[in-house]
Structure formats: C-alpha cells, structure tokens
A and B are shown apart, each in its own frame.
Chain A
Amino acid sequence: MNLLGRAINPNLRTKFLLPISAMLIVSMLLASGYMLDRQSDSFRSELETSGETMIKMLAINAESGVLFESEYMLDELLLVLARFEVVRYAVIVNLDGKVLSSTGKCNLECLQHIKSDHTVEPGGLCYKRYAEDSAGVEHLLLSTPVTTRRETVSREHLGMSDQVGTGLAIEQQDEVIGHIVIGLSLETVNEAIAEGRVAVILLSALVLIAGIFIVTLIVNIITKPVTALVAVTDTIRQGDLSRRLDIRQNDEIGHLARTFNSMIESLQQSREEIEEYNRTLEEKIVERTRQLEDAQAQLIQSEKLSAIGQLAAGVAHELNNPLGGILGYAQFTIEKLRKSTSKQGTSKEIASFLKYVSDIETQARRCKAIVQNLLKFSRSSRSVDFETVDLNAALEETVSFVEHQFRINQVELEVWLSPDLPNIQGNLGQLQQVFTNLLINALHASEPGQTVTMQSRISPAVGEFGGAVELLVIDKGHGVSPENLKKIFEPFFTTKEVGTGTGLGLSVSYGIIRDHDGEILVSSELGGGTTFTVVLPVQKSAASTDTGNRTKQSNHRQEES
C-alpha cells in the first residue's frame, strides 16, 4: 500500500532524482553514440586517405611495368606493397583484363570491378568502395587506372611552318594502359574502433555515475532540510512543540529554517500563555464563583435580616399599644394604691397588691426594652443624632467600661489603635453600644488566660468605597459553627443559656451599624475563635447633610427613658 502510494505519489527526492538521472543517461547515450560514430568515420576516412595515396603512388610506379608488361617489375612493386599488413590484396591488369601481377587473395569478383570502374578519368580520383569478399569480410576496395603519356605529332602543322624543329607541333595525351585494384583490410580500423568504443562506454559510465552521484548530493542538499522540516511539522501537528530544526545554512533554506524555528518558538510561547491563561482562568472562575456565592449568601442574609426587621417592626407596633395599656394601668394602679395608703395607712393586703402591680410594671418595662431593641434592629428605628465621632476615643472609653469585666474573668484585652484614623459621622452612644456588645461577646466566648484583640485601622478597601475605617474584635475562643454563623445577626438567636441573654445584642448592633451606612462582618472557625469586623464609612457628604437634619429635629423631641 505504502509502496503503491509512493509509486503514484513519489516524494520530493524521487521527483528530483528520476527526471534528472533519466536526462543524464539519455544525454550520455546520445553523446557517446555521436562520439562513437564520429570516431568510426574518422578512422575510415584516414584509411581511405592513406589507401588513395598508396594506390596513386602505385599507379605512377607501375606505368613502365604495365607498358612493357614486365611481370618482374610489377611483382617487385607488389612485393613492397605486400609488406603493409593492411593490404589484403593487390592486382595489376592490362587493358585486356589480363592479370599482370597480383598479391594476396584476389577473387574474380574484384576484377569485375575493374571494367566497370575504369570510367574513372586518368589523373582523376580513384574509385573506392567498401566491399565484401567471398568470406563476407568487409574491406576497402580501391581501384585506379594506370596511365602513360603518349605524344602525337601533327603532320598538318609541319607544312605550315618554315622552320623544322620549331615547327613541330607535339600533342601530349594521357592514355589508360591498365588498372590497379587493391583491397585494404578494415581489421585494424575495426580494432581501433572497438577499443575506442570500450573507452567511450567506460568514460560515459564513469561520467554517468559521477553525474548521478553529484545530482544525488545536490538533491540531498535540497531535500534533506525539507524532509527534516516535514518530520518536525509532523511532531508539531501531534502537539509536540519542543523540537527545533537543526539547519545551519546561510542560504534560503537556512533562512526558512530559522524563520520556522522562531515561528514554533512564538507558537509555543503563545500556547504556554494560553495554557497559563486557562489555568489562571479556572482559578479565577473558582475564586469569582466563591466570591459570588459569598456575596449571594450575604445578600440572602441581609434580605432575611431585612424581612425579620420588618416583622419586628410590625410586632413592635402591635405590641406597643397593649404594652402601653399594661404599663400605664400598672403605674396608674400603683399611684392610686400609694395615695390610698397615704390616707388610710398601710394595710397588709394593699401592700401585697402594690407589690404585685409593681411586678407587672417591672415586667412590662422589660417587655418595653425588648420591643425597643427590636425597633432598633429594624430600619425604621433610625432616628438618632449623628455627630463627628473620634473612633479611637470612643473605643478607649468603651474599653474603660468593660476592662473590669475582663480582669474578673482573667481574659487579657489587647488594644491596637491606628493613630491616624479619620473621624466618622455617627451616634457615639449607639456605636459604643455596638463596641461594648462585641467586646462582651468576645469575653464570653473566651476561656480564662486567653486574649481578646481589638484593633482599629483604615480599611484596606479604602478608595473603592470612598474611604472607610474598620474595627476588628478578635477572640481565640470556642468559635461559631457555620450554621449558627448564618443566624448570628437574627433577633432572638442566642447560643447562651435561656435567661442569660436576650438574643438581641448582635441584631441591635447590626441595625445600628447598618443605620451608619456601615457593615458588620463575621468570620469564625469552630474552636479557632471568631473575628467581628465593623466597617464604617468616612464623612460621606450625603450622610453629613442627612445628619444635620436629624440633629435639628431631635432637639425638639422628647427623649425616651
């Protein structure tokens, strides 16, 4: 399959090698054929030239021998000729066709030519042709006429001249008196041609091999980097970007390789960047999802607290009338009973009535306090004086209220106050209520010997919200479970024993801080302590004008007990 594929779709190397080699072979064949042809021609023409010279010389020397039909003279002549190996045969005949002398094997066939060939003019070129003898061996046949000069005196001219001697008109004419035929062997020529052919073939083969070798080298120079390029491209396609082309050439291919390498380099870089980006993207998504979940949880929490606040406001509204009745009637009754005892003296019965009603009044006052705290938790309770508050001073004062309790419980209170804290707008009393609440909660969560840390600082988120300060209360106590942490700001939620707390402390703190446009945050680990963070905005322009209005109004308002 692969072979078939290769045959149909040859690779680059084959595409180069095959046609170039074929061209090389064809041109070598043509060249060597031409050379052989030329060589053979030149050998033959050389033989012909020397044959012509030889036969002409022979014709001149044989003149007298033929003229006198002296076999002896002619034999001498041919004997000299027979010394040349190349001469196969030589025949001298007279005009009648009688063989005057011969040497070598001469058949009659040769002689037949003489008659037909004597057409060659005297003194002209000799006749030559390649003939085969009876054995079929090819040889060069040459024939030429033997001539003699005949002088003829014209009688007519004699009469016309006065002076004898000078008056003789002599005509000179060449007359054919016989023929010479020689046969020259082609053996030497053929041997030389054969030798030449072997040499040409060997040379051609050598040149061809060298040519193919050089072509292969050149093709390799071109195809090797391309093959390497293909191999690297394949590995890249499979996702491995670590491989590089190792081609150090200063030509176009070298340039291509360098460009390719730098291309892979940037590809690898951008892939790493993408991978890195993907990795961080996942982390970012996880982080954002977590933030979103937190924000959502906080939103749900604040929505829930807001709903509870509305409920609390409704409950407070409904309770305040009956509670007013209970408290009022208790107080009215007490007043009446006191008046009657002052008139009639104290009877035992009235004294006990007075005590009962006083109990009702006390409990009604307690109910009143609870309802008022509920109202403070709900948003509608926002009707207090705002003033410029030095948070550090407020904190120091709060610490002075509670440090006695810390000492009694053997819990250390560490206070870190940032010296360059900006002032805020708020209600000092309410803020101190929040701080006290947080500190007392931290104290209750701590074991003797532990430390509670209170810290004030400029919020790290400064700038984003236009500036804020933070108060942190950190204890190393028993901590709060995640499910309790969700409910920690809800009214009446408490982990303390029934009767020891109202469960309104943190919800009131929540309401107060929210009324200050701030935030109260909690983070806790079961057994690892709890951190409350109160974030309060610094001097918002809107808040300060709002505060101004409220301050003016409340001057005319009757303060509650």
Chain B
Amino acid sequence: MKKILIIDDSAVMRNLLLDYLADLKFDVDACGDAEEGISKAVTGDYDLCICDMHMPKASGLDVLRQVREARPELQFVFTDSLPDQLSEKVQKLGTFQYLHKPFELEQLRKIIVGLLKPVRTQ
C-alpha cells in the first residue's frame, strides 16, 4: 500500500483528502503544520506528498527544499489557493504537478494514479 503524506493548514482540505484517499485505499497521513510535515516527510517512508503552497510557518517551497535532499525519490503534488510567484519558483526546482484550489477530485485521482503507477499494476 502506497503511503501518502498530506501537508495542509486547512482542516477541511486535510480531512477531505484523508477521507478520499483512504477510500481509494492509500495509506494516508496528514498534518496541518509545515514544520511537522517536513520532519514526517524526512523520517517517514512516504511515496507521495500532497503539499499546500501557502502555510503560516513555511511555504510549499520550503518543504520541497528541505525534504528533497533527504528523500529525493519522494513525489510531490502541490496545491494552492492563490497563483503567484511561489509556483514559478517551485517549477524552477523541477517538474511538479500543480493543482489550483478548488480542484476536481477526479483530477487529483488521475494525477496520483499517474505518479504511483506501480500501485495500479499490483
């Protein structure tokens, strides 16, 4: 079972993704604090991280920068509620999937399935 970590300060989004992805048979973990999320992502054996761009203590960009060295194989899907320069900076660090809130659940599902293909073949 693939493990997914959700980092989002919005409780409703966190809960929705937890419920939805659990229903899709993923091992889902979530936290609302960016720093806590970073330590979990570094120490945990997650396959994918769904990370919000705008959070109080750190941005999605900070999470990416800090986690990437320790876990280069970790996949990222970024979400944001306001398109701005942060997304452009993220794009400079590599090719990442990006979703603007409010997004369609179906769209998220397709992206995750695409990124975690081995799960589908298993």
Contact = CB atoms under 8 A, between A and B. Distances in A.
A324 B12 contact: yes
Contacts of B97: 558
B82 A324 contact: no
A375 B105 contact: no
Nearest to B15: A325
B82 A325 contact: no
B95 A556 contact: yes
B88 A553 contact: yes
B54 A317 contact: yes
Interface centre among B15, B17, B100 (most CB of A within 10 A): B100
A327 B97 CA distance: 20
B84 to A, nearest CB: 5
Interface in B15-72: 15-17, 19-20, 23, 54
B82 A317 contact: yes
A323 B54 CA distance: 16
Contacts of B104: 327, 331, 561
B101 interface: yes
A372 to B, nearest CB: 8
Contact of A328 (B83, B102, B111): B102
A558 B99 contact: yes
Given A317-B82, A321-B12, A324-B81, A332 B106 contact: no
Nearest to B105: A331
Interface residues of A, number: 30
Contacts of B88: 383, 553
A378 to B, nearest CB: 9
Contacts of B105: 328, 331-332, 335
- Interface of A: prevailing SS: helix
Interface in B81-122: 81-84, 87-88, 91, 95-107, 111
Interface string A326-360: 11110110011000000000000000000000000
Contacts of A383: 83, 87-88
A431 interface: no
A375 B82 contact: yes
A439 interface: no
4 A-B pairs with least C-beta separation: A325-B12, A320-B81, A324-B102, A321-B10
A322 interface: yes
A380 B84 contact: yes
A244 interface: no
A380 B86 CA distance: 11
B16 A332 contact: yes
27 contacts: A317-B82, A318-B81, A320-B101, A321-B81, A321-B101, A323-B102, A324-B10, A324-B13, A325-B16, A326-B102, A327-B103, A328-B13, A328-B16, A328-B20, A329-B16, A331-B105, A332-B19, A336-B23, A364-B102, A368-B102, A380-B84, A381-B83, A383-B83, A383-B87, A557-B98, A558-B97, A561-B107
Contacts of B106: 331
A557 B105 CA distance: 17
Given A324-B101, A332-B16, A313 B82 contact: yes
Contact of B20 (A332, A368, A558): A332
B81 A317 contact: yes
> Which of B87, B96, B104 neighbours the largest number of chain A CB atoms within 10 Å of its CB?
B104
A380 B54 CA distance: 14
B14 to A, nearest CB: 9
A331 B107 CA distance: 11
Contacts of A327: 102-104
A534 interface: no
A85 interface: no
Contacts of B103: 324, 327-328
B31 to A, nearest CB: 16
Interface string A236-251: 0000000000000000
Given A328-B105, A331-B104, A321 B13 contact: yes
Contact of B107 (A335, A375, A558): A558
Q: Which of B88, B97, B105, B107 has the most CB of A within 10 A?
A: B105
A21 B84 CA distance: 107
Given A325-B10, A329-B16, A316 B102 contact: no
Contact of A324 (B16, B87, B98, B111): B16
Given A317-B81, A331-B104, A375-B82, A558 B111 contact: yes
Q: Which of A320, A323, A556 has the most chain B CB atoms closer than 10 A to its own CB?
A: A320
Nearest to A314: B82
A553 B91 CA distance: 7
Contacts of B87: 383
Given A328-B16, A558-B107, A320 B102 contact: yes
